[in-house]
C-alpha cells in the first residue's frame, strides 16, 4: 500500500475529523471508504470503484473534511491546496499526506504560512499534516496557487496544458522525434495509446491526410481534457487504462509508452503497452513508437510476433516501427 496513504489513515486515527469528507487523489483504504473520491488516473479510479467508493469527476459543494494525496509536481500540489480550500466548509479540516522525498516538510511549511496548522504526524518516511479554515486563509498565497492551477499554453504553441499532466511545460523531445518519423502514408483507423494532451495525435492528423479517425486512449483525465481542446479533426477520446487492452483493432498504433508508475521506474508498464498494441493491430498494421534508447523493447516486440525496425537512434531516444 502507498505509504503516504497509510500515514494519512494513521493520522486520522490519532486525530479524528468531521465527516462528510472528500478525498482528492483518492486510493482505496478501509478507513476512508466513506469519503467521496476524486481520482484523475484511471487505474487508481478503477481500484476506488472496485472498493465501493463513490467517485466524482468534478466535486461540488462543501465538505467538513478534505483529504489530499498530492501527485508528483509542485504545481499540481499547490493547485490541489486551492481546490481543497474551495471545497472545504467553514471550520473544516484539510489533511495532506506525502512522502518526505516529495517535499512533505516544504509543503507543510508552505501551507502553514496560509492557514493555521492543526497537527502533523510523521511515519513510514511520510508526513501527514492538517490545517483548518476556521479563519480565512492568506489571500496572497491563495491567489498565487490559483494562478498556478490555471490552464496555460505550451510556449510558442497553441497547445493547452494543466499542472500535473505529462510534459506540461514543453513538447516531449521523444514524441517530437517520433512525429518526424510518422510516414505520411498512415491511413484508416489509428490509436494513440498513452495520448497525453494530444501532441502525437495532432502531428499524425496534420501529417497524414488519409487517417479517417484517431482514437486517443489516456489514463489521466486532466490530460485527456486538454487533448479535447488541442485536437481539431476526426478524433475520439477515451479515459482508459491501456494495460487492460483496447476495445477495437487498428491499422496503426502510435505510442510514447510510460515507464514510470508514480515516482518509480516500471518497465512492466511499457511492456504492457506494447502487448496491448500487438493484440490490437489489424493484420498488416504497424506500430510506431519512441522510447529511451536503453529500454529493451525490441526483444519484447519480437516475443509478441512483431518485426521491429529502428528508424533512428539518438544519444537519448530510439524510434521504432514494428509490423
Ligand X SMILES: C[S@@+](CC[C@H](N)C(=O)[O-])C[C@H]1O[C@@H](n2cnc3c(N)ncnc32)[C@H](O)[C@@H]1O
Residues that bind ligand X (CB under 6 A): 43, 166-167, 172, 175, 194-196, 199-200, 217-220, 223, 241-243, 256, 258
Closer residue to ligand X, CB minimum distance, 59 or 196: 196
If we measure between CA atoms, which residue out of 232, 215, 223, 236 comes closest to residue 160? 223
- Residue 196, classed as helix, strand or coil, is coil
Angle 109-113-117 (CA atoms, 0-180°, nearest 5)?
75
- C-alpha Rg value of the chain to the nearest Å: 21
98 or 223: CB nearest ligand X: 223
User: Could you tell me the smallest distance in angstroms from the CB atom of residue 194 to ligand X?
Assistant: 3
Nearer to ligand X, 24 or 226 (CB): 226
Q: Which is nearer to ligand X, 26 or 203 (CB)?
A: 203
Task: List, as one string, the DSSP characters of 25-85.
Answer: T----GGGTTSEEE--BHHHHHHHHHTTPEE-SS--S-EEEEEE---SSHHHHHHHHHHHH
Nearer to ligand X, 135 or 158 (CB): 158
Distinct helix (H) and strand (E) counts, the chain: 10, 18
The number of C-alpha atoms within 13 Å of 131 and in the hemisphere containing its C-beta is 23
Query: Which strand (E) or helix (H) includes residue 205?
Result: helix 199-207
Which residues are 130's β-sheet partners? 95, 119
CB under 8 Å to 136, separation ≥6 — which residues?
A: none
Q: Which is nearer to ligand X, 145 or 238 (CB)?
A: 238
Cell of residue 136, nine digits:
480565512
- Quote the CA–CA distance of 22 and 69 in Å, as a whole number: 11
**Which residue, 77 or 175, has its beta carbon nearer to ligand X?**
175
For the CB of residue 190, give the shortest distance to ligand X in the complex, in Å: 13
In the complex, minimum distance from the CB of residue 316 to ligand X, in angstroms, rounded to a whole number? 13
The two beta strands, 250-255 and 187-193, are: parallel
Report, in Å, the least distance between residue 198 CB and ligand X. 8
Amino acid at each position: 500500500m502507498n505509504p503516504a496513504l497509510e500515514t494519512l489513515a494513521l493520522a486520522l486515527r490519532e486525530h479524528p475529523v468531521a465527516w462528510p469528507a472528500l478525498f482528492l487523489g483518492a486510493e482505496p483504504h478501509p478507513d476512508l471508504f466513506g469519503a467521496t473520491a476524486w481520482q484523475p488516473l484511471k487505474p487508481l479510479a478503477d481500484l476506488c470503484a472496485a472498493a465501493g467508493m463513490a467517485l466524482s469527476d468534478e466535486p461540488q459543494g462543501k465538505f467538513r473534511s478534505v483529504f489530499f494525496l498530492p501527485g508528483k509536481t509542485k504545481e499540481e500540489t499547490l493547485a490541489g491546496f486551492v481546490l481543497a480550500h474551495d471545497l472545504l466548509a467553514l471550520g473544516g479540516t484539510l489533511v495532506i499526506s506525502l512522502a518526505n522525498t516529495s517535499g512533505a516538510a516544504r509543503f507543510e511549511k508552505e501551507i502553514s504560512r496560509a492557514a493555521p496548522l492543526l497537527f502533523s504526524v510523521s511515519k513510514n518516511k511520510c508526513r501527514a499534516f492538517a490545517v483548518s479554515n476556521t479563519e480565512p486563509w492568506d489571500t496572497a498565497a491563495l491567489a498565487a496557487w490559483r494562478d498556478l492551477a490555471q490552464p496555460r499554453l505550451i510556449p510558442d504553441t497553441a497547445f493547452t496544458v494543466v499542472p500535473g499532466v505529462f510534459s506540461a511545460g514543453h513538447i516531449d523531445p521523444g514524441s517530437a522525434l517520433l512525429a518526424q518519423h510518422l510516414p505520411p502514408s498512415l491511413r484508416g483507423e489509428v490509436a494513440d495509446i498513452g495520448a497525453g494532451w494530444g501532441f502525437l495525435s495532432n502531428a499524425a492528423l496534420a501529417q497524414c491526410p488519409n487517417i479517417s479517425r484517431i482514437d486517443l486512449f489516456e489514463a489521466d483525465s486532466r490530460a485527456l481534457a486538454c487533448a479535447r481542446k488541442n485536437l481539431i479533426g476526426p478524433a475520439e477520446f477515451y479515459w482508459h487504462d491501456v494495460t487492460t487492452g483496447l476495445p477495437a483493432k487498428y491499422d496503426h498504433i502510435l505510442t510514447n509508452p510510460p515507464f514510470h508508475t508514480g515516482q518509480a521506474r516500471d518497465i512492466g508498464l511499457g511492456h504492457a503497452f506494447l502487448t496491448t498494441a500487438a493484440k490490437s493491430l489489424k493484420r498488416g498494421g504497424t506500430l510506431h513508437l519512441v522510447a529511451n534508447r536503453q529500454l529493451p523493447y525490441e526483444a519484447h516486440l519480437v516475443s509478441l510476433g512483431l518485426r521491429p525496425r529502428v528508424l533512428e537512434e539518438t544519444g537519448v531516444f530510439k524510434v521504432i516501427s514494428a509490423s
